[in-house]
Amino acid sequence: MKTCIYNGILMDGIHKTQPGGLIIEDGRIQSITTDTKSLPSCDIMLDAKGQYICPGLIDTHTHGIGGYDFNDIAKLSLREVAKQEAKEGVTGFLASLVCETHEDMKQLLTYYEEQEVDGFFGIHLEGPYLNRQQKAVMKEECLRDPMLEEFKEYLHISSKIKSMTIAPELPDAMELIRYGTAHGVVMMLGHSAGTAQDVLAAEKAGAKGITHLYNAMSQHAHRAPGIVTGAVLSKLMCELIVDGVHVHPDIVQATYKMIGAERIVLISDANPCKQLPKGEYLFSGKHVLVDKDKAIVKESGRIAGSTLRLCDALRNMCTYCGCQKETAIAMASAHPAALYGWKKGRLEVGYDADIMIMDEQFQVHQVLRQGIQIQ
């Protein structure tokens, strides 16, 4: 079955932004046309109505949505998660798992290994090899030093593990980073009290990125260069939560100027309470208060993940930094796709037809996943 999306403006931040359309067949982009007058005959003709035709957004760091918690598989529906994510233009996501005991994590990995849901791209293990000094909302009793044999067991159980966050200063962290990299896992650095030199050493060992830059890590102090300093000095990709809460807008702008758009990956780092009404909920074993655009731990008052829609992150990025729409789009599509080696995130022949159609105000109007309209 062939689908033609026409009467739109092609925009992916990689190629020239211009009027045109797409021809889709077998879930992939078959051809791209800039001829707005002569359209091929297709089974489905989808009018973009002059709006932007963009790659679908990819959220590589989210803990759930609408009350569905990736760590709580008893109540989880990945299909419902995928439906809710599509409403904000997200055509693919990684399920970020917070720390659990070794046995509980094995149960989670066994469950996910059996899941085949469109839009579910795999698992991001946020720990358990994290620094207790930078635990954030992680369960401290589940944090531990790197254990390669334990990690090997995780990889034996699950082929769905796509990334892992690790604190590079912990004992044997470099060995685990090298092993994970060699086995196709994108190793990310975070929840760390390490130094800039730890980051650079981890980069040499194969690490590919920084988890939610600025949050739960040592900072850019002029006499004590930490993980943030290392992020600037390195060539690693940097996740950024652009909700105006996790990172001040001025710091977002400074980051954009310091490291450039090419190294930024926009994420939500959403907690499972996202899209729920104001109230009190449970996340990572803690009572979380959700009010408007913020979630905090009831007992401590610290931030407990975001309630950010990824399409709103695009708007915020443009507002804070003055960058173009296409630049922000690439940060949430082409950049994460390139980091993970997925043939997605671009309007290019042969790439997966995960498509979002949005207007000038970043409102999502239509979404296609593998060429099939789902929103």
- 12-48 pLDDT per residue, tens: 999 999 999 999 999 999 999 988 778 888 999 999 9
Would you say 89 and 358 are in contact if contact means Cβ atoms under 8 Å apart?
A: yes
Integer Cα distance of 5 and 26 in angstroms: 15
Token readout for 274 is 């996202």
369 is annotated as contributing to ligand binding: no
Task: Write the CA distances from 188 to 124, 164, 254, 361, integer angstroms.
Answer: 10, 6, 22, 32
Q: Is the pTM of this model over 0.75?
A: yes
How confident is the model at residue 253, as a pLDDT? 98
How confident is the model at residue 329, as a pLDDT? 98
Query: Is 258 strand, coil or helix?
Result: helix
Integer Cα distance of 139 and 147 in angstroms: 18
How confident is the model at residue 82, as a pLDDT? 98
* Domains of the chain from N-terminus onward: 2-54+346-373 (2.30.40.10), 57-340 (3.20.20.140)
303 is annotated as contributing to ligand binding: yes
309 is annotated as contributing to ligand binding: no
Say which residue the tokens 């920084």 belong to. 210
How confident is the model at residue 181, as a pLDDT? 98
Query: Is 313 strand, coil or helix?
Result: helix
Q: pLDDT below 70 — which residues of the chain?
A: none
Alpha-carbon 144 to chain mean position: 25
Q: Which of 59, 198, 269, 352 is catalytic?
A: 269
Residue 52 phi/psi, 5-degree rounding, is -80, 130
365, 89, 19, 358: which is closest to 10 by C-alpha? 19
Which residues share a beta bridge with 187? 164
Helix (H) or strand (E) holding 257: helix 249-259
220 is annotated as contributing to ligand binding: no
Q: What angle do CA 291, 251, 243 make, to 5 degrees?
A: 25
Would you say 295 and 273 are in contact if contact means Cβ atoms under 8 Å apart?
A: yes
Pairs from 150-159 (Cβ < 8 Å, separation ≥ 24): 150/102, 151/176, 151/179, 151/180, 152/179, 153/106, 154/105, 154/106, 154/109, 154/125, 155/183, 155/185, 157/106, 157/109, 157/110, 157/113, 158/109, 158/110, 158/112, 158/113, 158/123, 159/113
How confident is the model at residue 301, as a pLDDT? 86
290 is annotated as contributing to ligand binding: no
How confident is the model at residue 375, as a pLDDT? 79
269 noted as active-site residue: yes
149 is annotated as contributing to ligand binding: no
Task: Write the CA distances from 256 to 233, 265, 343, integer angstroms.
Answer: 14, 11, 25
